[in-house]
Amino acid sequence: MADSSTPVFTDPAFPEMLRRRLAHTPFPVEQEAWPGDFFDKPPRRAAVLIPLVQRDDDWHLLFIRRALNDNDRHSGQVAFPGGHVDGGDPGPESAALREAEEEIGLPRRNVELLGRLGTCRTITNFHVTPVIGLIRRPFSPIPDPREVAHVFSIPLSWLSDPANLERRNRQLPGKNGTVIDVLYYREYQGELLWGVTARLVAALVSGISTDR
């Protein structure tokens, strides 16, 4: 996208560069190597919004930490706003914007869509479409306490540093010791980003950094 001397993530034109790249083709997301018999039914459709916002002369991604909930398999984890694609949603973009408005009070009129990443399948058997949106107007998050414990951002310049990303082995539940390769970022101000959300971030960073 740019040579190493160009401060890509502080460039005001970065969103337009990203839009042009995503118009060419969605950035592929590395998929976990699920065993062939891991899922016993077709995946359900879901979408997440990857919110891009400028803060302190740097471009950041906005995240949520999910509220603690005994009925939520991802309880307490860092994620992007998102959820099911419902029958009333015209498509994943609509679903992602609706969920972000419901979960953190982000008005859809404040978001300019830039494109998609490739889809991926999650451990909870969702086929997720990641939608990237630029937050054009300032807003104060209003988290739904039933779903969101905290809203925060991480600079893309930090997320793009390979020293902050690592792979770990993780044993799958109920699979007799089957181990898969899972991405983890180092803790950032007490927040741990890992799993499918880390893979979406890594796909975005890789797509930005790859010459096209």
Q: Where are the beta strands (DSSP E) in 10-147?
A: 44-55, 58-66, 78-79, 82-84, 111-116, 120-121, 126-135
Per-residue pLDDT of 111-120, as tens digits, reads 999 999 999 9
Q: Give the model's pLDDT for residue 180.
A: 84
* CA separation for the pair 104, 180 (Å, rounded): 32
Average pLDDT, the chain: 90
Q: Would you tell me how many other CB atoms lie within 10 Å of the CB of residue 92?
A: 22
Per-residue pLDDT of 186-204, as tens digits, reads 999 999 999 999 999 999 9
* CA separation for the pair 48, 124 (Å, rounded): 15
Cα torsion through 108, 111, 115, 116, rounded to 10: -60
Helices (H), the chain: 14-24, 92-104, 156-159, 195-209
Percentage of the chain lying above the pLDDT 90 cut: 71
What φ, ψ does residue 204 adopt, rounded to 5°? -65, -50
pTM over 0.75: yes
Tokens standing for residue 137: 């107007």
Residue 5 — very low, low, confident or very high, per pLDDT cuts 50/70/90?
very low
